[in-house]
Structure 1
Amino acid sequence: MEFKEVVGRRRSIRFFEPDKPVEREKIQVILETARLASCAVNAHWLRAIVVDRDKIPPDKLNQLKTPVAALTLDLAPVHIYFFCDLGVVKRIKGSRLRELVDAGALAPTHGWSHKFVDEFVYPQILEPMTNNLQGYLAAAMADCGGAAQNALLAAFDEGLGACLNTPNPVLTKQVFDVPDDWVSLWVMLVGYPAESWEAGGQRPRPPFEELYYEGDINTPFKRDPGVVEKLKASKMITAPAPLPGRRQEILQLAERLNLPM
């Protein structure tokens, strides 16, 4: 699919074919896409643990469930648990920035060199940043979010469905016995959708001009209807929810998958 269509087809899929396995190659594609996301100082904070649902011991699976995601965890054949590795910056000490200098991505025209990294960027910016936990966590999580979004879109490009959920952070760390400096972020539930790709239609969003501004916060960024029509033609903007028949689709899914209503 073209990029805009992938964006337009993305939904938070919550009805999966529970017994249809997901090819390992497609999971690798998802992870490869996350790895190539933009990342400040080339640190790469995101970590992922991929688990087949049926290989999770029942007592552990129950620990991972939350009130809003229990059923979805049961339905999705593959779980990808995302974590933020807060220890990475102190471990690598600017080495990946030096790699970017060597690769020509950080050029001397902009002041970059190994010396600049070793004598200024790491000791005066990066290392002190790690001591301000609130600010450091916010920066690291922003990068993790970008990588997770890449992964999410890749799942749909591979013909799968996916949904990001927030697990219980304490129990998730315990279940997977991760290092103390890893922060539990999300679980991406992955599988083949049991529902139609439209999943009832594109979700409601706040009005465009309430979200984006031009020049100052008093001037909304004017939405061009012509651009909107082009995005509809490219399948990025699709029919809004609720589509006709969505209620009936849910009833049929509940009956077929033996779900409560």
Structure 2
Amino acid sequence: MEFREVVLRRRMVRNYDPERPVPPEVVDRLLEYATHAPSAGFSQGWGFLVLDEAADRERFWAATTPVAGDPDTDRRSRWLTGMTRAPLIIVPHANRSAYLDRYAQPDKGWTDRDEARWPVPYWHIDTGFAALLMLLTVVDEGLGGCFFGIPPERTEDYRAAFSVPAEFTPIGAITVGYRAADTRSPSLRRGRRPVAEVVHRGRWTG
């Protein structure tokens, strides 16, 4: 598939064919291509949890789904109906320590691990780059994918369920599978902002 077509076809898919697993070689490519994302100082402070067994996926949804009584439970249950059919979940994690350690090395010139030196948390940004490469690879492989967040109040339950080390922070999760019929997100009614509206050339304002 041409790169232009991959970009234009990319969208969040929220319903999957549960009878068609993702081939192992495709899973390997998703992960390999993710590691080609850029990272500050080539720190590569990411880690990916792959959940392709039914029991592990069930444990993921049990750990990350709001408990009964949550005011948002009804809406999320409708969303989960299609999402839980995905045969593959990949959870990208960012490791801040890898960046602080890397930039305290002699070739970077800093002598400490002070987080205040960082204008933005590049460990999250770079892991997001890796996640986007996976989403684009998903399209190139003829599959569907969706990136979504883990509710903050459920993060510790997720960590405990999968023994995630403290230095790794999940930035979200990605469902992957063969697309099934689904409905368009209501958010898409807002329309895509025109390029002319978001691009500023030379200076921000006249």
Distance in 2 separating the partners of 1:122 and 1:144? 24
SS at match of 2:19: coil
Count of paired positions: 189
Task: Give the aligned residue type for 1:54.
Answer: A
Preserved contact between residue 54 and residue 87 of structure 2 (Cα < 8 Å): yes
Distance in 2 separating the partners of 1:57 and 1:138? 29
* Structure 2 residue 199 is the aligned partner of structure 1 residue 189: no
Distance in 2 separating the partners of 1:162 and 1:24? 16
Preserved contact between residue 11 and residue 199 of structure 1 (Cα < 8 Å): no
- TM (norm. structure 2) is 0.80
The structure with the larger Rg is 1
Provide the residue aligned with 2:40 in structure 1.
Answer: 40
Distance in 1 separating the partners of 2:53 and 2:88? 6
Summarize the Cα distance change of 1:137–1:180 in structure 2 as closer, same or farther, 3 Å threshold.
Answer: farther
Q: How does 1:173-252 map to 2 (within 5 A)?
A: 173-195=159-181, 203=188, 204-218=191-205
* 1:14-46 per-position Cα deviation (integer Å, ceiling 9, x unaligned): 110012111111011111111011111000122
Provide the residue aligned with 2:13 in structure 1.
Answer: 13
* 1:82-129 per-position Cα deviation (integer Å, ceiling 9, x unaligned): 1111222355567xxxxxxxxxxxxxxxxxxxxxx61x61434xx444
Provide the residue aligned with 1:157 in structure 2.
Answer: 140
Task: Give the aligned residue type for 1:38.
Answer: P
- TM (norm. structure 1) is 0.64
Structure 2 stretches lacking a partner, 5+ long: 67-72
Task: Give the aligned residue type for 2:108.
Answer: V
Preserved contact between residue 65 and residue 73 of structure 1 (Cα < 8 Å): no
Distance in 2 separating the partners of 1:29 and 1:89? 25
RMSD of aligned alpha carbons? 2.7
Matched residues, percent identical?
25
